[in-house]
């Protein structure tokens, strides 16, 4: 897995910008608009990026500017086509500190909110390409758990998925580890015949590795559903924190929204 170039941590001379977007019943989402958005008539792909447990929309787009700088540089260098990144939250106001059992409910309930409420708001306000081939979703930890719910329910709306350091909880908390065969089986029956691309990433020192790794291995048993359209990458030494997650985004996001990726899933 490539390292993020040091220069990408610094501000870029072709910066995009961040703004807030109101979502009924939730704190504002943070939206990243790429350089040139305000001067063009272009339409852009959208990527929905979900924070980890206890976090909020500013967890990824924090005051340190690191993810924003990274995205600016990835686009300015031509590594990645310009895109819009939306960072919503799955917590209703005041509930982000309510612990893991509540988080499990919040991410489950968030799937329908994203599909039915947030997508139309985003597509109504921004110049998006409102088609599933131009929509992706990813997230860290509980944000990955949220992503797996949308993998199950949202392939009409989404084609590209990037769960990072978090497993699928459709069979219960930490279900990817505790019930790997059942989880993989449910994913397989749900996704058989659907077209999508999924890249799961984690580190072998990550607390979620014992949950995600058996799930990904169990999924590989269903080669007709999870073939070259599913990639799984493990960073040696990678841990459960935002710096390694930014590295996963650096490696995986440029594969999205591009015709070559869907059938080139070497890991």
Closest CB to ligand FER among 100 and 223? 100
Closest CB to ligand FER among 72 and 167? 167
The distance of closest approach from Cβ of residue 252 to ligand FER in the complex, given in angstroms and rounded to an integer, is: 18
Closest CB to ligand FER among 44 and 149? 149
Closest CB to ligand FER among 70 and 141? 141
In angstroms, rounded to a whole number, what is the distance separating the alpha carbons of residues 62 and 56?
A: 10
In angstroms, rounded to a whole number, what is the distance separating the alpha carbons of residues 249 and 1?
A: 11
The distance of closest approach from Cβ of residue 23 to ligand FER in the complex, given in angstroms and rounded to an integer, is: 21
Q: Which residues, 6+ apart, have CB-to-CB distance to 263 below 8 Å?
A: 228, 229
DSSP string spanning 189-236?
Answer: HHHTT---EEEEEEETTSTTHHHHHHHHHHHTT-TTTSSTTEEEEEET
Which of 168-196 are b and which e, b meaning 16 or more Cβ less than 10 Å from the residue's Cβ? bbbbeebbbbbbbeebbbbbbeebeeeeb
Maximum CA extent, the chain: 50
Q: Which 3 state secondary structure label does DSSP give 55? A: coil
Closest CB to ligand FER among 82 and 176? 176
The distance of closest approach from Cβ of residue 63 to ligand FER in the complex, given in angstroms and rounded to an integer, is: 22
The distance of closest approach from Cβ of residue 117 to ligand FER in the complex, given in angstroms and rounded to an integer, is: 23
Q: Cβ-closest residue to ligand FER? A: 53
Which stretches of the chain bind ligand FER, using CB under 6 A? 52-53, 100, 103, 141-142, 145, 166-167, 174, 207-208, 211-212
Helix residue spans in the chain (DSSP H): 66-76, 99-113, 119-125, 142-153, 175-178, 180-191, 209-219, 242-252
The distance of closest approach from Cβ of residue 141 to ligand FER in the complex, given in angstroms and rounded to an integer, is: 4
- 203, 239 Cβ separation under 8 angstroms: yes
The distance of closest approach from Cβ of residue 207 to ligand FER in the complex, given in angstroms and rounded to an integer, is: 4
């Amino acid at each position: 897995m490539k390292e993020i170039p040091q220069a990408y941590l610094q501000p870029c001379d072709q910066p995009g910008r961040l703004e807030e977007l109101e979502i009924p019943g939730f704190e504002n989402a943070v939206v990243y608009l790429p350089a040139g958005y305000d001067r063009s008539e272009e339409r852009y792909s959208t990527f929905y990026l979900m924070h980890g447990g206890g976090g909020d929309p500013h967890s990824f787009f924090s005051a340190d500017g690191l993810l924003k700088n990274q995205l600016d540089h990835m686009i300015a260098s031509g590594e990645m086509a310009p895109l819009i990144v939306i960072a919503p939250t799955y917590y209703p106001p005041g509930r982000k500190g309510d612990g893991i059992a509540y988080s499990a409910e919040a991410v489950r309930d968030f799937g329908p909110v994203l599909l039915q409420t947030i997508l139309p708001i985003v597509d109504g306000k921004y110049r998006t390409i409102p088609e599933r081939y131009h929509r992706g979703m990813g997230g860290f930890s509980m944000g990955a758990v949220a992503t797996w719910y949308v993998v199950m329910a949202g392939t009409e709306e989404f084609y590209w998925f990037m769960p990072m350091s978090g497993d699928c909880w459709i069979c219960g908390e930490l279900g990817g580890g505790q019930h790997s065969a059942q989880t993989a089986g449910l994913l397989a029956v749900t996704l058989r015949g659907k077209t999508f691309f999924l890249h799961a990433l984690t580190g072998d020192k990550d607390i979620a590795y014992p949950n995600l790794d058996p799930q990904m291995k169990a999924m590989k048993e269903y080669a007709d559903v999870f073939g070259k359209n599913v990639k799984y990458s493990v960073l040696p030494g990678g841990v459960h924190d935002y710096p390694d997650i930014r590295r996963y985004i650096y490696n995986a996001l440029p594969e999205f929204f591009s015709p070559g990726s869907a059938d080139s899933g070497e890991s």
